[in-house]
Amino acid sequence: MRKFKTESKKLLDLMINSIYTNKEIFLRELISNASDAVDKLYFRSLVDDEVQINRADLAITVAYDKDARTVTISDNGIGMDKDELDKNLGTIAHSDSFEFKANQAAADADESAEDQEGLADKTAQDIADVDIIGQFGVGFYSAFMVGKKVRVVSRAYGSDEAWAWESDGVDGYDIKAAERDTHGTDVTVYLKDNDGDEYYDTYASESGLKNLIKRYSNYVRYPINMEVEKTRELPKPDDAGDDYKPQFENYTELETINSMIPIWKRKKSEVSDEEYNEFYKTDFHDFEDPARTISLHAEGTLTYDALMFVPSHAPYDMWSKDYKKGLALYSSGVLIMEKCEELVPDYFNFMRGVVDSADLTLNISRETLQHNSQLRAIGRRLEKKIKSELENMLEDDREAYEKFYKEFGRTLKYGVYSSYGMAKSTLENLLLFYSAKQKKMITLEEYVADAPAEAEAIYFAAGDSIDRLAQMPIVTTVLAKGYDVLLCDENVDEFCMMALQSYSSDKVVTFDDEGNQEEPKQFAIKNVGGEDLGLTTEEEKKEAEEATEANSGLFDAMREALGGKVEKVVVSTRLTDAPVVLTTEGAVSLQMAQIFKQQPGGDAETPDVHIVMEVNPKHSVFDVLKKAHEDGDSDKVSKYTGILYDQALLVEGLPIDNPLEFSQAIASLMQ
Ligand code: ADP
């Protein structure tokens, strides 16, 4: 018996005792090796005249034996001679990078184990093991995750002898002379006994193997053949009577399980929409066609093909914590990772798709760091592509875009907010808001293009219903002055607007008096309930200040009556019909404070909101208040102020502190 090298021994122990849940990937690993072996032989045939190979004959076969509980992966590739079996399967290449990864993963796991409870029975090393196996296919040895014994029979191309390598994975392996008709390799895995956690029989069944091949190796470039069981009807005998019942027989037939040519490698012009849609629905388990298909073939330092889809609807778990973003990552047609997060930013987390790069093969399994920077580079390119495709969709198919936006607009807006505005340039032109003036969804660009020449700001109002917002006095006043107001009814809207801060569009062109093109104007983004809307003249402002001053006695009494709920009471410049309105100073609006309050533990964390009660001096209620104050009827002033405050909240769709007190006050007035 030959002994395994130390590093190999470590890896083997890890495989045999693996707690890794995706044991099934062993099949992918063995098929990849087979595909590589076939590739190697094929390439040799291209450069060496003595190697005569017909590419059409090259294939991989998967066979199983239910009774013996074995699965065998065969190829007619380059094969291995005795030395190669010893060298390739007795030791693991690049053990230094393996060690590096193991140490890194262990360090990471130590950290995460520290701040998680309930991990007491799993050591940091266990977790690290999972990471390693999950992230870097460790090839041949993964067979020991499902096998108690593995036998490899191989005959090198050009040699007339075959050799068998056999091991139970524990201490070592044997190499003995064997028989094989032609060049190539058979890897037979003797499955472990079933236990509570794992039902290994699956790997010796037609359906189990078929599923795994389709799932992980569907796009391997060579056929993966398997004998499948079929049933056929026997021909009806000539002398069959009237009571003849059809007779059947079982037989087996060699079938190619994988589809071989990856759809993403094909030119977009050569693939029908229907094919893309079918691929999308089968591969991503959706019942609806995608809203948009994006294909990209990148060449250069990194060569890769990407095929991405914008789904038509959000998956049911989109908003749950467990939702994982990412695209499937393939290396030369072999699935490496089902959801590679690095490939899409959070704000495009709804994208589904596939990235396939031959350049990644080595790096993925060898160099952690490099692999990350390459993935990031691909990710950046894809992000640009997704952005421009969504912009195209907005431009050429508005209806589809609005449907998309209904499903995923929230994600885009959240992206602006959660990146603290860093994703602004990527996302700002993809946003839609409801226009109070045009009564439909519009972009910021459309707002700006439609704004009066003197406009300096984009106005918005936030609340919980578009209908109610449309009727709010502060909204109707701004509209009456000729400016549009974007009505925002989603929680994230106001946070998104705050993160945007301002907007300018270089597509909206303006000219100065001499006919020269002006720099794009920066529009501040303003809440209509905020401090200075920039819509009043200096004169109007001064007038209001003077009127506030003149009524300071009344206003002080009103502020006191509200017991600290408002910062101050002033004469308003923005009201026409309503008696009062509540506005805020500073960054936090009434709606925002409400959202904070509704969050778990929100009461403690609600930031200070500075409310201003603005009074309409032209409203008859103002005269009534003034008179009550002059008459010294402080009870009346206090009661009226309370009612005005509460009804202003109600108008905004916000809850009032004490509905009982409010209704009693109204009833007492009616009596
Ligand atoms: P990797 O494929 O990442 O190099 P493996 O442990 O899977 O690592 O395989 C080790 C080596 O064994 C391969 O590099 C290859 O040279 C050889 N090998 C494995 N499977 C086959 C096969 N089916 N035919 C020929 N050579 C093989």
Ligand 1 centroid distance, CA of 38 (Å) = 11
Structure tokens at 98: 């393996």
Q: Which residue has the higher pLDDT, 475 or 284?
A: 475
Query: For residues 203 and 27, is the Cβ–Cβ distance under 8 A?
Result: yes
Residue nearest to atom 12 of ligand 1 (CA): 88
Say what the pLDDT of residue 25 is: 81
Tokens of 648: 């202003």
So what's the pLDDT on residue 285?
A: 76
- Mean pLDDT computed over 189-205: 92
Per-residue pLDDT band at 401 (split at 50, 70, 90): very high
The C-alpha atoms of residue 385 and residue 308 are separated, in whole angstroms, by 10
Residue 528 · residue 459 · CB < 8 Å: yes
Q: With 90 as the cut, is the pLDDT of residue 597 above it?
A: no
d(Cα 339, Cα 318) in Å, to the nearest integer?
14
Residue 98, pLDDT score: 47
Per-residue pLDDT band for 509 (boundaries 50, 70, 90) equals confident
Is the pLDDT at 122 greater than 50? The verdict is no
* The pLDDT value given to residue 361: 53
What is the position in ligand 1's atom list of the atom closest to the CA of 75? 23
Task: Give the SS3 label for residue 209.
Answer: helix
Q: Measuring from atom 14 of ligand 1, which residue has the nearest CA?
A: 88
Residue 332 has pLDDT above 80, yes or no: no
Residue closest by Cα to atom 10 of ligand 1: 88
Residue 132 pLDDT:
45
Q: Confidence class of residue 138 from pLDDT cuts 50, 70 and 90? A: low
CA of 30 to the centre of ligand 1 (A): 8
Which band of pLDDT confidence, cut at 50, 70 and 90, is reported for residue 100?
very low
Q: Each residue of 74-87: pLDDT tens digit?
A: 999 999 999 999 98
Residues with CB under 6 A from ligand 1: 33-34, 37, 75, 77-80, 88-89, 93, 139-141, 185, 365
Confidence band of 577 (pLDDT split at 50, 70, 90)? confident
Looking at residue 249, its pLDDT comes to 94
Runs of H (alpha helix) within 2-81 = 6-16, 25-47
The Cα 464–Cα 181 span in angstroms is 76
137 pLDDT higher than 80:
no
Helix, strand, coil content of the chain in percent (nearest 5)? 45, 20, 35
- Please say if the pLDDT value at position 554 is more than 90: yes
Of 19-33, 555-569, 605-619, 654-668, the poorest mean pLDDT is in 19-33
Share of the chain above pLDDT 70, in %: 89
On whether the CB atoms of residues 70 and 153 are closer than 8 A, the answer is no
Q: For a ligand 1 pocket test, name from 89, 140, 187 the mutation site with the most ligand atoms within 8 angstroms of its C-beta.
A: 140
Distance from residue 140's CA to the centre of ligand 1 (Å): 6
Element housing 73 (H / E): strand 70-75
Whose Cα sits closest to atom 18 in ligand 1? 33
| Reported pTM | 0.68
| pLDDT tens by residue, 432-489 | 999 999 999 999 999 999 999 889 999 999 988 999 999 988 899 899 999 999 999 9
Tell me which residue of 530, 555, 536 sits closest to 617, measured CA to CA.
555
Partnered with residue 3 across adjacent β-strands are 172
Q: pLDDT by residue (tens digit) across 142-180?
A: 899 899 999 999 999 999 999 999 999 877 899 999 999
Query: Tens of pLDDT along 638-668?
Result: 999 999 999 999 988 888 989 998 999 899 8
Q: Which amino acid is at 321?
A: K
Residue nearest to atom 1 of ligand 1 (CA): 139
**What is the C-alpha separation between 284 and 555, in angstroms, rounded?**
63
